[in-house]
Amino acid sequence: MMSSGKTNNVAIISKMYCSASQVVLVVRRRPHVISGGGFVVTDCSNQRVVFSVDGCGVLGVKGELIVKDGNGDALVLIRRKGGVVEALSINRKWKGYTFDYEGSRKLVFSLKEPKDSCLVRNNAIRISTAETGRKDWDFEVKGYFPDRDCSIVDSNGNIVVQIGVKKEIEELMTSKDLYHMVVKAGIDQAFVVGVIATLDYIYGESTRC
């Protein structure tokens, strides 16, 4: 159940992706055999495509994702930190960057991936943003993403995003290629899609090569 507590605008990518009211977004995965994988996000209220995500099946680069707006323009580049440091680290780290008008990258969020996250259901996945002050994390994923039964909560414990599969859809489909996200008012939807894209890759789904 969504928290009823008041949440101010959380503009991590841009305030233009923060809605004054709660929004329901529908995620539809693209099959690898058709378009190289990734997924498309539509607004449930008007069926308009608002975001898309290209995975490494499209980009040809492992550990790299791109979130695009409804016009197909790149919004966020997401990369997994690689090399020897990753191999020795308990937590692999993903980093999301936006682009300025000169093409320079700006770090906007980081996500820690626990080891063996595909096998353990209760591993905490924590996200920090560029606006972090005294805290070492701002959001946490609770639940198990592959089951399409999880939520994103803020550091105060408020649910800001609920991810699930509608019963009428679940009855018609054996896979979880279609699911929805309820995004609380004031939460940056582009950021949310970036987090979901990262979870999708971590759990070896549509964005993975």
Q: Find the domain containing 142 and state its range.
A: 30-202
> What does pLDDT average to over the chain?
83
Taking a C-beta distance cutoff of 8 angstroms, is the pair 29, 10 a contact? no
24 belongs to a structural domain: no
11 belongs to a structural domain: no
21 belongs to a structural domain: no
For the cut 80, the answer to whether the pLDDT of residue 196 exceeds it is yes
Among 27-41, 164-178, 186-200, the minimum mean pLDDT is found in 164-178
182 belongs to a structural domain: yes
pLDDT digits (tens, 9 = 90+) for 3-38: 444 457 788 999 999 999 999 999 998 877 666 789
Query: In the chain, pLDDT over 90 holds for what percent of residues?
Result: 52
Q: How many domains does the chain have?
A: 1
17 belongs to a structural domain: no
The neighbour count for residue 131, using CB atoms within 10 Å, is: 12
10 belongs to a structural domain: no
What is the spatial distance between Cα 207 and Cα 195, in angstroms, rounded to a whole number? 12
Among 28-37, 120-129, 162-171, the minimum mean pLDDT is found in 162-171
Does the global pTM surpass 0.75? yes
What is the spatial distance between Cα 157 and Cα 112, in angstroms, rounded to a whole number? 18
Average pLDDT score over residue span 98-117: 79
Among 8-17, 86-95, 124-133, the minimum mean pLDDT is found in 86-95
Number of Cα atoms under 13 Å in the Cβ half of residue 79: 11
207 belongs to a structural domain: no
Give me the CATH number covering residue 125: 2.40.160.200
DSSP H or E segment with residue 202 = helix 189-202
172 belongs to a structural domain: yes
